[in-house]
Chain A
Amino acid sequence: MSTLKQFGWKIQKYFLTLMSMFRTNIREYGMFIALIVIFIIFSFMTDWIFLGAINFTNLLNQTAYVSVLAVGMTLVIVARHIDLSVGYIGAFLGAYVVVSVENGFFLTKILTAIPGVDGTHWLIVVAALLVALIITVFVGIIKGALVAKIKVPAFVVTLAGMFIFKGLLMFQTNNGTIPTTNNFFKQLGIGYLPTWEVGGYDFITLIIGIVIIGVLIFNGSRTRNKNNMLKIPNEKIEIYITKLVLMISVVGYLAYTFSSFRGISYLLLVTAIVVSVYHFMTTKTTLGRRIYAVGGNPDAAELSGISVEKITIIIFISMGILALISGVMFVSRLQSASPNYGPFWELYAIAAAFIGGTSAAGGVGKVVNAVVGSIVIMSLKNGMALSGVDANLEPIILGGVLLLAVVFDIFTRNVRPIDYIGIHFAKKKFGPQLKETQLLFTKAKLELKEAKRENKENVIDYEYKLTNAQGALNKVKDLIRTSKEKDFIIE
């Protein structure tokens, strides 16, 4: 019996630990919950088609261009700026690359003069992308310099850029849709990595999944060991393992889903590479450290020897390069360039960053969370279309979700650590005291009511008594609420 009881307590303790961790770090997990809720709702509404292999692959392909923009936008917002121009810049650069490849334009036209090089040659695509890269870096430098050196608000600079590139886009496409024929666009936009099918499943995708899982396990245990060596506190082992199991199941599910359809699309691959590079850059490099320092406190950063100007320009260049990638992805997926592409891209990216918890005040925000934010946005679009909801409802619901996310972020800004195990013990320890003070408080309340009704002269004495009783009660309540075990969350 006692071993059974002990076992029961162990399980209870495990769940209390998880709850404490969850409650204490609610800010980090809110967005994942939102995503799960959205997934579940749409799965029910669409008879599980929503999470099925075909639609899920499709959803991530649709999300690619927003994710890439949102990654760059997160850094822009972290540095306390905004970039409204990237939608049209992306669309313009996409159109530029399409026109260069399909019709020949400046450099690509010259190249086709070389014997043996025609519109389908790889050199043409490379040349078009290279020129587009030079253009976007140049534009990024101009935007960054205007913002950082001349101190024009980024809102105004990039609003101007938005108009300018809308016009350039219309010139570039000659106000008409240009279909793509080059294999490059076909591969990138609707192609998949080579597959090796065994029994209906793509083996390559599965192997990639297994490698990622291996890296997760290896990396995690390496960090824990090193922390142990340096006596830096680690997460509790049960929390760590729970998280690991969750991550492995997500990676496993993704690998399984992709492998049962057509494997990994190039769009997904490019997105994954971009996100990995930026995640590494922001969390592990000195450049990332400098960017967040500039966003957190520009004056302090400048006095710490960081050139705020240089960092700002770098951020706008990075945003421009991502706009190029995003634009090329978009035209490839739709297999055409069009003057109608561009609007709202930047706004989706901004919304994704905010849904992902990026702070409008600067200095706080994670690129991976911005990607989750963009998946939330595109899930709404995709899911509602799939379940046959009136399309007019979609922007309204998206607006609501954005507002909710930001309100949630503000409400959870000052959440204090809560340890349910500590509370569990404190409740036992202070239980009698709590009951006693509660009784006294109710009594004092009644007495004051009585005194007021009888219009006694010394009502104020009863008021004193009540406040004192309330104070005593609050003290006990506070004591219980803030109780913490020594090994709370970490070990």
Chain B
Amino acid sequence: MNQENILVMNSITKSFPGVKALDEVHIEVKKGEIHFIVGENGAGKSTLMKVLSGIYPYGNYDGDIIFDGKIKQFHNIKQSVHDGIVIINQELALFPNLTVYENVFVGHEISKGSLMDWDETKKQAKKYLDMVGLDVDIYRYVSSLGVGKQQLIEIAKALSQNVKLLILDEPTAALNENDSANLLKLLVDLKKQGITSIMISHKLKEVEAIADSLTVLRDGKTIIRMERKNINEQEIIKNMVGREIDDIFPKRPIYKKQEVVLETVHLNSYDKSVNRYIVNDSNIKLRKGEVVGIAGLMGAGRTELAHSIFGNPKNYKISGKVIVHGKILNLGHPKNAIAAGIAYVSEDRKSDGLILDEPITQNITISNLKKISNSGIIDFFKQNQYAEKYIKDIGVRTPSILQHVKNLSGGNQQKVQVAKWLFAEPKILILDEPTRGIDVGAKYEIYTIINDLVAHGMSILIISSELPEILGMCDRIYVIAEGIQTAEFNIKDATAEKIMESATV
């Protein structure tokens, strides 16, 4: 064992019913370095961090955690925090209805006896917020701040707990380019102050930029540990997927112009809850058999545009028109959009796409119950036949069509969502972040499905935060910034730089 190591996790094995999430995983982290853990979804990264921070208590896993030269047996997260291991999860653990300074010290309040010492709390909070470079009024409510700033508050909170090892689980997933860059710079600064960090990330550019070392996990096993000098993107991908990927995007013939099937004309949507226009004079066109991308930063109004077209479920105040196949679309309820042949595969499959506690059959057929029923009575044999057919066509891997959706992996859940909408027999398909949180293999399958659909005359609108995906899959691209449509590119003119430039107006 190396003296320098602050953390060694030795042959960690953790099983869930039916799957081994971690299989003899071994990682070493040196004092004062930034260590990345990379791997596909389901590789076991988050599980490993949950073992480390005591969320999965000692006894729930096999193997040893050696932190600061001692074997640790954490029974809960409080013990790991006490020893200086702080984890910041993807879903931030802040209290939106408390102020900034209250949030920094929630859980380890500064008190005199049993009374809160608010003066000291504010003073200390200011100190730690300065350390993370966050200049914000400490009296503001956290709910009024953006995700980037909230993340910094989480880090300030960690610092206030004398953190020795900071764990960040996909911290930049929800951040825009600017905030991401800030965060990475902060981590490098913290490193200079002697704070070790472990970071889980999908963004290999980040890894290349600041990693001192990294561990690749695949299928719950440690594949390789790389040092700074050996780190390069190609090598990481090769180890992550266990195979070379030279072409992530399946090819499609060049698009030949056909008639327009969907058009927005001066479409404006006003959101009363935030008091601003979230879609501002949108004029987009989608043609038959075409794949059109909507690019833009998080919060630019892309999902809101999709919602406005798809029957306005959030009750925005809308002006302007949506024209589908030459007819004006009634924007009263999603059911009108569905009747007009539009389908919308939502961004967040768990919160507003699938009914997790119900079987695949129910989830697929809910979009078009008429197809499996006679005067309101369901024909179960028809239902099962259709479900079998659709999961076979789409390639959902499941032991049975009666499997509850919550038991499927992310990629398979996403495919069920797509199957559900194909079951409604749409002519226009809106895909909102179709490959978020699914692994490289499943991504390729989704892309293949997209190509297959447009070859059969469907028109597809893709909303995505991943520029390579937009550039690799679309025939035409619209860029949106703060609700305003700022640019339109044909695929042959588009580059990542040009899109980013238009997106950050």
Contact = CB atoms under 8 A, between A and B. Distances in A.
A474 interface: yes
A305 B335 contact: yes
B17 A460 contact: no
Contacts of B355: 292-293, 296-297, 300-301, 363
Interface string A452-484: 000000001001100110110010001000100
A83 B146 CA distance: 38
Given A299-B351, A304-B366, A304-B367, A363 B377 contact: no
B289 to A, nearest CB: 25
B357 A306 contact: no
Contacts, number: 107
A9 to B, nearest CB: 28
A304 B62 CA distance: 44
A297 B354 contact: yes
Contacts of A363: 355, 357-358
A296 to B, nearest CB: 4
Contact of A286 (B71, B373, B400): B373
Contacts of B282: none
Contacts of A306: 335, 366
Interface string B1-36: 000000000110101011000000000000000000
A230 interface: yes
A230 B334 contact: no
B346 interface: yes
A296 B357 contact: yes
A284 interface: yes
A307 interface: yes
A471 B313 contact: no
| Central interface residue in B351, B366, B370, B385, by most chain A CB within 10 Å | B366
Nearest to B358: A296
Contact of A416 (B17, B356, B370): B17
A230 B401 CA distance: 13
B338 interface: yes
Chief secondary structure at chain A's binding surface: helix
Interface in A363-406: 363-364
Contact of A414 (B17, B335, B385): B17
A26 to B, nearest CB: 15
B345 to A, nearest CB: 9
Interface string B335-375: 10111000010100001111111100010011101100100
B369 A297 contact: no
Nearest to B307: A303
Contacts of B310: 303
A285 interface: yes
A485 interface: no
B62 to A, nearest CB: 4
Interface in A244-287: 284-287
Nearest to B424: A305
A303 B64 contact: no
Contacts of B11: 468, 471
Nearest to B348: A299
A468 B380 CA distance: 50
Given A463-B71, A467-B63, A482-B18, A285 B376 contact: yes
A302 B378 contact: no
A303 B306 CA distance: 11
B378 A284 contact: yes
A289 interface: yes
A233 interface: yes
Interface string B54-67: 00000000111000
B398 interface: no
Contact of B384 (A230, A289, A293, A468): A230
A307 B352 contact: no
Contact of B62 (A293, A300, A416, A474): A474
Nearest to A309: B333
A290 interface: yes
A152 interface: no
A416 B373 CA distance: 33
A416 to B, nearest CB: 4
A83 to B, nearest CB: 22
Given A307-B333, A307-B335, A474-B62, A460 B71 contact: yes
Interface in A410-424: 414, 416
A460 B370 CA distance: 66
B381 A230 contact: yes
A297 B363 CA distance: 11
| Central interface residue in A284, A289, A304, by most chain B CB within 10 Å | A304
A304 B63 CA distance: 46
8 contacts: A230-B381, A286-B370, A289-B365, A292-B358, A297-B356, A303-B353, A471-B62, A482-B18
Counting from the closest, the 4 A-B pairs by CB-CB distance are: A299-B352, A296-B355, A305-B335, A471-B62
Given A300-B353, A303-B313, A304-B420, 15 more contacts: A284-B377, A285-B373, A285-B376, A285-B378, A289-B378, A292-B358, A293-B358, A293-B362, A293-B366, A296-B356, A296-B358, A305-B311, A305-B334, A305-B337, A363-B358
Interface of A: 226, 230, 232-233, 284-287, 289-290, 292-293, 296-297, 299-307, 363-364, 414, 416, 460, 463-464, 467-468, 470-471, 474, 478, 482
